Amino acid sequence: MLPSKTLGLLSVSPLVHCSLNTCRLTPVFSYQQSPAPWNDFRSAGRSNCNIHSTRSSHASAAATSVAYRVGAAFSAKGRRFNTKHDLFSFDPSRQSSERPPFTGRPASGQDAFFISSIANSSSAAFGVADGVGGWDQSGIDSADFSHALCRNLATTAKDHTGEQKLGARDLLSQAFADVVADKDIVGGGSTACVAVGNSTGHLEVANLGDSGFAHFRLNAVHYDSNPQTHAFNTPYQLSIIPPKVLARSRIFGSMPLRDFPEDASVTSHDVRHGDVLVFATDGVWDNLSANELLQIVSRYMAGFQAWQSSDRGTAVGNELARLTKEGGIPKERENSLQTMLAVAITGEAKAASQNSRRDGPFAKEVQKFYPHEEFHGGKVDDICVVVAVVLDASDTGA
């Protein structure tokens, strides 16, 4: 077992940031019982997703199988974070139910996310993408690319066939190829942070650009990703560059940025019962350090006794399965632990981004690179957060 970094020793690294483009969740998300219609999506939303691993009766005693319970929240810049509306829920076991699939696009700015099971297995895929801005000058909606990418990430995961395992980079490559082939997407770019987790607790993450993720275990930061940037505030990005834009930039002797799924940093992680995974766009990482994220996560995990500390250390509480079920938390909307965590992180990042008296990671970077610039307080950006809580699949919380 790898030692966890402790709270006191936590290194505050510039985390990878994904910007928050909400993905179109087409075939994968379904309505919750609530009336919130998808096409009424406004500034904020949450999703709640249950991906159960089925425990094989042949499983060896040593191999515990895990399930990923996933929630999401987001807030577009310039809009109030509204925790009362725009909730959606995802439960693969009810995917083909009478509920119509979501085919619209939440008004979540250029950030996007996706959550899906892989084929019909207990493996899960999820992540975030942040559309690169500035394409409007070329008559292109900067949000289209990231939303299309996430829609394709979800469908690629869902439709995966064959015995071969789907790696995180393969998933990103296929989804990107589908965006390139999509005639409706003529240009644009996006970062991406994409995870594939399987039922034996193996998690692979492909991260390209300044979105990113952090892995929390028992009151400690177990891992946090590093952003990939070409230069300050210039993340690696997947892109489609229309011929006209390409021609124009040649005249000026510049080349638009263009990175590929092969450039993604791929990391492997072992996850287990009680772990919390946070995937987010740079709207979060620019405003909250890993240490601050841990404080938020710990506050809720401890508050609901999902992490219990005693003289003998910290342990996972007995009620984790129940708390991560829909309705496990007595709230109307954020009614599971993972959704509540996603909402809490989104809300704190939003508050931090609007607090001009506080210098977050982004403001500190600005001061480092441009010491004469007056930049204080948060950077107001789109925010998108996907939270997965890992639990022992044999415990369904029934």
Applying CB under 6 A, among 93, 120, 249, 309 the residue interacting with ligand NAG is 120
Q: Spell out the residues 6+ positions from residue 138 whose beta carbon is closer than 8 angstroms to its own.
A: 187, 242, 244, 245
Q: Could you give the CA distance from residue 47 to residue 339 in angstroms, rounded to a whole number?
A: 7
Cβ count near 176 (within 10 Å): 25
Smallest gap from Cβ 393 to ligand NAG, in A, equals 11
- Alpha carbons within 13 angstroms on the beta-carbon side of residue 28 total 30
By CB under 6 A, tell whether 355 contacts ligand NAG: yes
What amino acid is encoded at 92 in this protein? P
Q: Which is nearer to ligand NAG, 272 or 358 (CB)?
A: 358
Burial of 255 (0-12, 13-18, 19+ CB in 10 A): exposed
Q: Which is nearer to ligand NAG, 283 or 328 (CB)?
A: 283
Smallest gap from Cβ 361 to ligand NAG, in A, equals 7
Smallest gap from Cβ 295 to ligand NAG, in A, equals 12
Q: Which is nearer to ligand NAG, 191 or 198 (CB)?
A: 198
Q: Spell out the residues 6+ positions from residue 114 whose beta carbon is closer than 8 angstroms to its own.
A: 23, 25, 28, 125, 126, 127, 129, 150, 151, 153, 154, 157
By CB under 6 A, tell whether 284 contacts ligand NAG: no
Applying CB under 6 A, among 353, 387, 388, 389 the residue interacting with ligand NAG is 353
Q: Footprint of ligand NAG on residues 358-377 (CB under 6 A)?
A: 358-360, 362-363, 377
By CB under 6 A, tell whether 54 contacts ligand NAG: no
Applying CB under 6 A, among 152, 191, 207, 287 the residue interacting with ligand NAG is 287
By CB under 6 A, tell whether 286 contacts ligand NAG: yes
By CB under 6 A, tell whether 199 contacts ligand NAG: yes
Could you say which DSSP state residue 53 is in? P
Which range binds ligand NAG by CB under 6 A, 78-86, 223-231, 248-256, 281-289?
281-289
Measured CA distances, 11 to 213, 215, 223, 224, 296 (Å): 15, 14, 10, 9, 17
Given CA atoms 106, 108, 110, 116 in this order, what sign does their dihedral have?
negative
Q: Could you give the CA distance from residue 206 to residue 168 in angstroms, rounded to a whole number?
A: 5
Which range binds ligand NAG by CB under 6 A, 4-12, 134-142, 195-203, 246-254?
195-203
The residues of the shown chain that bind ligand NAG, judged by CB under 6 A, are 119-120, 159, 161, 198-200, 202, 286-288, 352-353, 355, 358-360, 362-363, 377-379
